[in-house]
Structure 1
Amino acid sequence: MNYFLPLILGFTAASVGVAPPGLLNMTAAKVSAVDGRNRAVIFALGASVTVIFQTYIAVLFAKFIDRNPDVIVLLQEIGLFIFSGLTFYFFWAGKKKKKQQEELKMKSKTSRFFLGMLLSLLNLLPIPYYVFLSVWFSRKGWFFFNQSYIWLFVLGAVVGSFLIFYLYILFFKKKEVDKPSFLMTNGNYIIGTVTGIISLVTLFKIINS
């Protein structure tokens, strides 16, 4: 068995999923700019801990789907509803006037760690994302739903997520956080476009099923 493959799959999936500007990586950059790199790393560690549970739950759910193909159509319909709603939400959020960001005032490393865990917990998008990918990887023959593969996939996802957080911490300076770049300014539109494409693909699959 190739135990290196699920590690790479998890790492790649997380890197691609976390790379677009979002709540977690931009908060990590903000913490770095305001309170320093060390506290930002503590925040990223807290967020990464939550990724462990999110990814594991997602893969277990994907395992159930893979063994019960009859529920796939129902889940596609639910997914269409969810991703359509997310598309409208992100485009609506992109049009909202940006409020001035308040500086984070929590000073202890412990508070940063649990802030990272909390914000990551509130971000539910990774669960359907990893469900879809792990089922797809399984159908391609790249991934198997045994404990070794699952935990290596989870490990890869955690490492990939933390790496992206750390890159945001390293490369976004204070002026770049205070004056957002094109990606930061249009992040909601980018995510909304991605969820819109997923919605169209899901609708096409439902029509042709």
Structure 2
Amino acid sequence: MRAIKNIFVGFLVSFIGSIPLGYLNVIGYEIFSKLGIYNLFQFLSGVICIEMFVVYFTLVFATPLVNNKKLMKTIDVFAVFFLLILSYSFYASANNSVGNQSVLKKYMSYSPFLIGVLLNCINFLQLPFWTGWNLYLLNGKFISLGRKYKFFYVGGTIIGTFIGMLSLILLLDSVSSQSFRFSQYIIPVCIPLFFVIMSVVQMVKVYRKYYKKRSL
């Protein structure tokens, strides 16, 4: 029973966490639209390969990570610049392209699996996300860590991420295919704007978390 509970909780948290439109989902959408479903599965496999280790180690070291205030602050601040760099890269690539040149052209010499591994390795936002969730679940006794139960939880999270990302990517493709005029603006306008908004939201979080109390 505890194994099933761990799988369900891990799946639920990961599925919900993967639904918001992040840069991995955006790149996954482009891989699907340019290279097809088989290459998308390879990309998602690379993503969950890294997430498996991230979830496991943040589960084991959740408390020490949260107590390292300097590390968490560095990650949060870096995330602002990371999102702005992503915004510019999509904007510049779209405006410098000829015809339907893909943003992924520079990655074409690598397999989608390696692209997923590489991009999730630099997805620093997952560290505070999983650290916070794992602490909450452990403190609330929603999951069990005894014996091999932690592996059921990790298994649930990677299944949730895979299905959540796949669902959102297919939804994005369905929406864009139904409106060609809208799809023309996804890469050069919508995606860069989305990352700018995300960076602003991250700035607000950093201010409230680290600087608001000092200014009062």
Alignment partners' CA distance in 1, 2:47 and 2:124: 13
Over aligned residues, Cα RMSD in angstroms?
Answer: 3.5
Equivalences for 1:55-204 in 2 at 5 Å?
Answer: 55-62=55-62, 65=63, 74-76=67-69, 78-87=71-80, 90=83, 98-101=91-94, 102-103=101-102, 104-105=104-105, 111-173=111-173, 175=180, 178-180=184-186, 184-192=191-199, 195-196=202-203, 198-199=205-206, 202-203=209-210
Amino acid at match of 2:144: F
**Is contact 2:90–2:192 with CA below 8 Å preserved after alignment?**
no
Q: TM-score, normalised by structure 2?
A: 0.72
CA shift, 1:78, in A, is 4.0
Q: Distance in 2 between matches of 1:41 and 1:96?
A: 24
Q: Is the 8 A contact 1:79 1:202 kept in 2?
A: no
CA separation of 1:156/1:99 partners in 2, compared to 1, >3 Å: closer, same or farther?
same
TM-score by length of 1: 0.74
* Secondary structure of the corresponding residue to residue 172 of structure 1: helix
The more displaced of 145-154 and 81-90 is 81-90
Given that residues 10 and 155 in structure 2 are in contact (C-alpha distance below 8 angstroms), is that contact kept between their aligned partners in structure 1? yes
- Taking a change above 3 Å as real, the CA distance of residues 190 and 155 of structure 1, as seen in their structure-2 partners, is farther
Structure 2: how far apart are the matches of 1:190 and 1:150? Answer: 35
Contact 1:28 1:40 in 2 (8 A): yes
Question: What SS class does the counterpart of residue 161 from structure 1 fall into?
Answer: helix
Mapped contact 1:21–1:184 kept (Cα < 8 A): no
Aligned to 2:98: none
The 1:97/1:42 distance shift into structure 2, 3 A limit, reads: closer
Unaligned runs of 5+ in 2: 95-100
Q: Percent identity?
A: 19
Q: For structure 1, list consecutive stretches of 5 or more residues without a partner in the other structure.
A: none
Distance 1:160 1:91 in 2: 28
Give aligned pairs, total. Answer: 199
